């Protein structure tokens, strides 16, 4: 009996010492998920099977019998041959992919239920997540130093292209041929072909009629001059006039319009020059300079 009383008193004392005191009021936690788009880069793995062939040497023993030769009777002889064996092996590569991805995070805040909620004070709210735009790449050299369109010459040509047109018309007037007029569609097609030649690293007259049809200008006769490596308009016109074929295109009196395109190239020869000549059909003929007498630098008239 006395032992039970002692245990009961000891149990009550320990319970009073280590009893958990609950707070008067407990705060409540509210959590929510916030998602926003974000520009991220990640590595993507792609695997595929690739055929792999290698030589394999095989040998076999055969019994050979020779009664008339040097060795009488039968003996074993080893024959070897090479055979190509093919199999497939797994090859994996990593690629870098970038794009907008959805990124989510969990936001939690605590709310006191017994707090004094005055009608004039709005409840605290979590500010909405700010949307971050992906970083804009810096402009390239061509975009940064691109001349505005209002500063270009006629038909959208640059200064050096306009200079080439002036020089070839000067040569035509000396021989009595009418001056050529520019056409904005031919200028765009010439620049495009100069860029293609720069990418290929060689001069070419491929797909000539197809390129003229794609330009959308009706014609009866066409011609083209290309060059690369001449730094100035005077140098490229001088090199064309020294060549009989290019000279014939420049001085041909049947041509009425021309398009000139020059493109600077980072590899090989630079810049690349292209001239596209054509004679527009009579129903689509534009106004051109009539054939007549012109005065050269000395003041003499030539026809």
- Write out the chain's pLDDT in tens, 303 residues: 666 666 766 776 666 555 544 454 556 788 888 888 888 787 888 888 888 888 888 888 888 777 665 656 777 888 888 888 888 888 888 888 887 778 888 888 887 666 555 555 555 555 555 555 566 665 554 444 344 444 456 788 999 999 999 999 999 999 999 999 999 999 999 999 999 999 888 899 988 888 998 888 888 999 999 999 999 999 999 999 999 999 999 999 999 999 999 999 887 788 999 999 999 876 544 444 333 333 333 443 332
* Helices (runs of H) and strands (runs of E) counted in the chain: 7, 8
State how far the alpha carbon of 203 is from the alpha carbons of 190, 228, 261, 263, in Å.
13, 8, 14, 13
User: Following DSSP, what letter does each residue of 214-263 receive, concatenated?
Assistant: HHT--EEEEEEEEEES--SHHHHHHHHHHSHHHHHHHT-TT--EEEEEEE
* pLDDT of the residue at 64: 79
Distance, in Å, from the CA atom of 159 to the CA atom of 176, rounded to the nearest integer, reads 26
| Contact by Cβ (8 Å): 41, 94 | no
DSSP structural state of residue 3: H
Nearest in space to 199 (alpha carbons), one of 139, 269, 247: 269
| Contact by Cβ (8 Å): 158, 152 | yes
State how far the alpha carbon of 273 is from the alpha carbons of 90, 161, 214, 228, 243, in Å.
48, 9, 20, 6, 15
**pTM of the model as a whole:** 0.45
Tell me the backbone φ, ψ of residue 97, rounded to 5 degrees. -120, 135
User: For strand 272-280 and strand 301-302, is the pairing parallel, antiparallel, or unpaired?
Assistant: unpaired
Q: Tokens in use for 68?
A: 């008339």
| Contact by Cβ (8 Å): 47, 92 | yes
Nearest in space to 157 (alpha carbons), one of 123, 181, 130: 181
Nearest in space to 103 (alpha carbons), one of 129, 135, 136, 126: 129
Distance, in Å, from the CA atom of 246 to the CA atom of 225, rounded to the nearest integer, reads 6
């Amino acid at each position: 009996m006395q032992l039970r009383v002692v245990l009961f008193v000891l149990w009550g004392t320990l319970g009073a010492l280590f009893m958990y005191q609950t707070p008067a009021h407990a705060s409540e936690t509210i959590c929510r998920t916030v998602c926003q788009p974000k520009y991220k880069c990640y590595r993507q793995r792609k695997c595929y099977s690739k055929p792999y062939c290698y030589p394999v040497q095989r040998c076999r023993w055969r019994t050979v019998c020779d009664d008339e030769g040097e060795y009488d009777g039968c003996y074993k002889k080893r024959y070897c041959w090479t055979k190509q064996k093919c199999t497939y092996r797994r090859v994996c590569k990593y690629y870098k992919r970038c794009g907008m991805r959805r990124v989510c995070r969990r936001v939690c805040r605590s709310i006191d239920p017994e707090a004094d909620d005055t009608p004039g004070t709005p409840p605290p709210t979590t500010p909405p997540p700010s949307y971050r735009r992906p970083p804009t790449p810096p402009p390239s050299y061509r975009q940064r130093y691109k001349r505005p369109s209002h500063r270009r010459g006629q038909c959208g040509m640059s200064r050096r292209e306009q200079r080439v047109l002036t020089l070839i018309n000067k040569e035509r007037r000396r021989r009595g041929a009418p001056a050529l007029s520019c056409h904005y569609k031919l200028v765009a097609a010439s620049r495009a072909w100069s860029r293609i030649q720069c990418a290929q690293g060689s001069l070419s007259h491929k797909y000539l009629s197809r390129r003229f049809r794609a330009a959308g200008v009706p014609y009866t006769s066409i011609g083209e001059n290309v060059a690369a490596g001449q730094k100035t308009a005077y140098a490229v016109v001088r090199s064309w006039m020294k060549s009989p074929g290019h000279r014939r295109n420049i001085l041909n009196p049947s041509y009425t319009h021309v398009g000139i395109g020059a493109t600077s190239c980072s590899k090989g020869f630079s810049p690349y020059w292209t001239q596209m000549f054509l004679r527009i059909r009579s129903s689509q003929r534009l106004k051109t300079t009539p054939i007549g007498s012109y005065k050269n630098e000395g003041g003499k008239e030539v026809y």
